[in-house]
Amino acid sequence: MYDLFMEIWRLFGKLFPGCIAMLIVVCFLLLGIFQPLEWMTYNTLFRLRGNIDWNQQIVVVTIDNKSLLEFKQFPWTRTRYIELLNILDTAQPNVVAFDIIFSESSPDDVALANAMKQHGKVVLAEAWDSQGEPWFPVPELEQAAITTGHIFGPKDGDGMIRKVQPLINGIPSLGIAAIQAYATFTEIPSLPNLEEALWINWPSQVQQMPHYSFVDVVQGKVSTDIFKNKIVLVGVTAPGIDVLVTPFNYDPPTGGVYLHATFISNVFGHNFLHLFPSGAWIILLLLAGPVWGLLIVRWHSGKKLGFCIGICVIWEIFSLFMLKINYWLPVAAPMTLLGMTTGIVIWQDDLNLKAENQTLYRLANYDSLTQIPNRRRFDEYFQQEWGRMTREKSSLSLILCDVDFFKRYNDTYGHQAGDSCLQKVAQAMSQAIKRPSDLVARYGGEEFVVILPNTTVEGAMIVAEEIRSQVKILAISHKASEVSQYVTVSLGIASIIPVSDIPAEFLIKTADEALYRAKKAGRDRFCMITAEDLGLNR
């Protein structure tokens, strides 16, 4: 049962990075954080994809700068549109769809209505204002039109329209209304599902589709044969009036009439964008992160990063390919999921490596019984501090400590009790030192050693007495001791200002000699030997 639990735990550890990344990405999706990134990649992919052909059954008559300069003030009188309809009437059959809302009454409404009836296939626009109030054409014009269509297109946060609702409250979009009017004299392709929003597939820069200036058309500079058997869209493209941003036209933008031109082109070309079901993306998010994390967990960091970058590039290329066949795939979320999973796996590897290094360091430098530095760490640190005190010309003190009659303790209470005794003594000694630079280490058997940098013999005596007191406070029973009924320690202190011509081992031997004197003097005490006692540092 334990083995099964450990296997499950190890598997969870491998799945953990992908699961965390998946949860973060899901939260980002719910908060809409990825939306601006997806819009950016959407625009970039369109430009990388390049141009596709506009449907040639559509022509746009533009109310552009040239027309505004010629005819001056805008909005124009109805007379201008009557002139246009008279020209287009000579190029029958065609459908004329105005991306202009004639909601204000005019003395020329009757004349314009007559021109619309004379043409017979005019589609007018209607819309809603920001409060949801409808803007309808004036009744005379609405009755003269073959049909009307809404021009509502919700803009995303970056100002671009990416989808159109073909039917709102039973009212078709201007593009659908124009196509239905077009069907009265020619065959049209099957219409998409009008109950669902349709995602626009922008073909190219709008300048590449057939378009003509309003003023050129009414002045007879454009052959009327161009408009025969066509859907003629009329709308404003002059800057600042009806702004439309597309992936190909964003600086400067173009006019809103090209939204309807694109919509109609998509209908005729059967090339609206398709999105994969949201359920498929939920499954992808649930699986991709954990599976990717499980796959790369054993790879080295360079390979992890290399494959992550490679997969992201492949996903971008695949998304571009799918766009060419009219499928829009999200890019930011999957790439973030892969990148975040890879990053967490690498971070987890780094933590594991640090933990392993820390474990190895402790195994190499700490005593397994007492959990204080061992002899190896003592030798290393002692040489380091000897050199430092030599440079700084400062005192270095050393205390050697021995548990009194420890062999008898082991013989009396057993080795397990002896081990416990050493652990408690080591902890008491560690509590007796206060500075980070001081070091308590196990020197061997029942012997301990304390390194005290920048410490004179007076300071070392205070530490030694503190150690002796802390051990007494433990009150570890020791019936076999000849000096006390509790465990006691003897300590030898040596202090010197190191110089280059004296070996570091000299201080250890001196402390050992001091310890020998403490034992000889009756134990449970400390003795000291200073540089002055040895005739040094004078």
The catalytic residue positions are 446
- DSSP letter at 55? P
Structure tokens at 175: 């593009």
- DSSP states of 394-409 as a string? --EEEEEEEETTHHHH
Q: Which amino acid is at 409?
A: Y
Secondary structure (3-state) at 198: strand
Instruction: Decide the pairing of beta strands 167-168 and 171-172.
Output: antiparallel
* Lookup result for tokens 């474990």: 359
Contact 63, 234 (CB under 8 A): yes
Query: What is the spatial distance between Cα 181 and Cα 159, in angstroms, rounded to a whole number?
Result: 30
Rounded to whole angstroms, the Cα distance separating 324 from 310 reads 21
* Helices and strands in the chain, H and E counts: 17, 20
Residue 135, strand partner residues: 127
Q: Give the pair of three-digit tokens for residue 524.
A: 């449970």
Cβ contact 462:399 at 8 Å? no
Instruction: Round to the nearest angstrom and report the end-to-end CA distance of the chain.
Output: 71
What are the start-end ranges of the E strands in 151-282? 163-164, 167-168, 171-172, 198-199, 211-213, 230-236, 243-244, 254-255, 274-275
| Secondary element (H or E) of residue 537 | none
Contact 210, 59 (CB under 8 A): yes
């040639």: which residue's tokens?
A: 56
At 286, give phi and psi (nearest 5°). Answer: -70, -30
User: Distance between CA 222 and CA 486 in Å, rounded?
Assistant: 117
Q: Rounded to an integer, what distance in angstroms lies between the CA atom of residue 274 and that of residue 65?
A: 36
Q: Indicate the burial class of 473 (C-beta count within 10 angstroms; 0-12, 13-18, 19 or more).
A: exposed
Angstrom distance (rounded) from CA 468 to CA 431: 12
146 touches 122 (CB < 8 A): yes
Q: Which two tokens stand for residue 349?
A: 């590897």
In order of 281, 396, 535, the CA distances from 392 in angstroms are 67, 11, 21
Cα(362)–Cα(372) distance, integer angstroms: 9
Residues in the chain: 538
The answer to whether residues 491 and 418 touch, using CB atoms and an 8 Å cutoff, is no
